[in-house]
Amino acid sequence: QDDLCLPDRLRRQVEVLDRQPEVVAVGTWVYYIRPDGQRIGVVGMPINDYGTFLGTLLTSATPVAHPAVVFRRDAVLAAGGYDETFAPCEDYALWCALARRRLSVVTIPEPLVMLRIHEQQQSQRRAVFQQHNVHRAHEQLVGAFCTAQDGPLVSSLLRMDEAFWVRCRSRQEVRTALEAMDRFLETLRGTFHLSSREAANMTHRIHWWFARGAFVAILRQQRQSLPVYRFSLRGGVRMLRYPTVCLYPGCFLLAGFFAPRVQRVCVN
């Protein structure tokens, strides 16, 4: 449509596909640009193996910008192609379908596409409906490896959405959800025969996301978030590089003193 490719984009992506036959899709980072073409910033995530790809999807995030993707057509068709019932997030649903088949998607960690931001984008006009379908696709992905009882709870926990904190109002209820989470992760490791590196990359993404979610929750005085914070610390000393990990203990102790305005500023 009105997005732009930089000159080396296709060549660089095809080179990755030629070098790595196990990879079925290659994305790139993107420049966000205004309608007049002025660059706003760079957006992208380092997705370099199946574990990182899967971990990103499990935290309900899109690992690659859809306009920046090149994929192997036969592999995508074999996975079912685009499911229009998930529009306007059929790209996220497709990535989930590929992940369930243990197919890898990676990104080139450089911006090779210029993505124009404007008010008429589907992600702007249909944001609520899009998020609803993201949740549907996410629950389908998680539910494929959970019991019917655990699936909705684990999916909500992984999204770190408000519905989870409404459902789990006590620390014991949160701990029960985390026990289901452990069972889920163990199933994934066995089902996909994850290497130690893939498993570490998958869980690191989850630990980081849980640390962020626990921090946002404690700013809202949701003190039952403590077990989620402790779960995030399983990521080891590397977690200390994230401000949310270091700030959580102090915020936990002082949560009762936060004025509502301060909470809104911090959360937003």
* Model pLDDT, residue 264: 57
Residues of the chain with pLDDT under 70: 118-126, 258-268
pTM for this structure? 0.91
- Per-residue DSSP letters for 13-74? HHHHHHH-TTEEEEEEEEEEE-TTS-EEEEE-----SHHHHHHHHHTT--SS-GGG-EE-HH
* Model pLDDT, residue 255: 81
* Model pLDDT, residue 119: 67
pLDDT in tens, 213-249: 999 999 999 999 999 999 999 999 999 999 999 999 9
* Model pLDDT, residue 258: 62
Among 209, 148, 210, 203, CA closest to 180:
148
Asked if residues 174 and 168 have their Cβ atoms less than 8 Å apart, the reply is: yes
* Model pLDDT, residue 122: 57
Residue 125 corresponds to which tokens in the numbers above?
A: 């006009």
Angstrom CA distances, 256 to 154, 220, 259, stand at 29, 9, 8
